[in-house]
Amino acid sequence: MTTLSSQAWRNTLRTVLFLGVLLFVCAWTLRYWQAWVYIGIYGLAVCFNTAYFLRRDPALIERRLQAGPGAETTPSQRRIQAVAGLCLAGIFVLAGLDHRWQGSSMPTAMVLAGDGLLVVGLLLVFVTFRHNRFAASTVDVVPKQTVAADGPYAWVRHPMYLGSGLAFLATPAALGSAWAWFAAVPAVLTLVIRLVDEEHLLKQQLPGYAAYCTQVRFRLVPRIW
């Protein structure tokens, strides 16, 4: 197994394991079927992405391994990423505690609807990666980078953030926790702040991006914004 492949699989499995530990420790029980289903969906998605892009586009995997506040190149993005990380962790902490203390209840139909929306969000992220091999985990412009304008990029300028936002908002329902929306909504707001800041950099440093913005008017939600 190559170094890149080893790093990618370690990162993938570590992420899924951390998510599971965070949920079940906060819930203080393994009898949390919503969490098992959620981890199954998310785990299958990230494992599929890792296997698919290691085979089809290893350069994308390599760029996405550089993640987190410390990997960002600008102070504003480091701050945004730090807040986003806290919000994301907060979603799972609140969901686990909510389950532990039975703070809110959610019908099974809503949980399954949340799982469905989670799948939609994850699929949109996957499609985005297929159409933009420069979709890194950090905000930066690299040599030979081009503007992605086909596929989902023909509808909105930030389809990966749209998919992520859908997944964030779906997670509380999928985990059966109304409490978790207190962290999910701020997590989506950090995405909005991040993409606005990112666009300033792309317009300045990525040739053709300003023209692309005039062609595709909507940043995140088609026909709304």
- The predicted pLDDT at position 9 comes to 94
What is d(CA 125, CA 44) in angstroms, rounded to the nearest whole number?
14
- When the candidates are 1.10.760.10, 1.10.260.40, 1.20.120.1630, 2.60.40.2700, the CATH number that belongs to 3-215 is 1.20.120.1630
pLDDT in tens, 28-75: 999 999 999 999 999 999 999 999 999 999 988 888 887 777 777 788
120, 166 Cβ separation under 8 angstroms: yes
Name the nearest CA neighbour of 115 among 186, 11, 190, 45. Answer: 45
Structural domain spans, the chain: 3-215
Predicted TM-score (pTM) of the model is 0.93
* Tokens 């039975």 -> residue: 102
pLDDT in tens, 157-178: 999 999 999 999 999 999 999 9
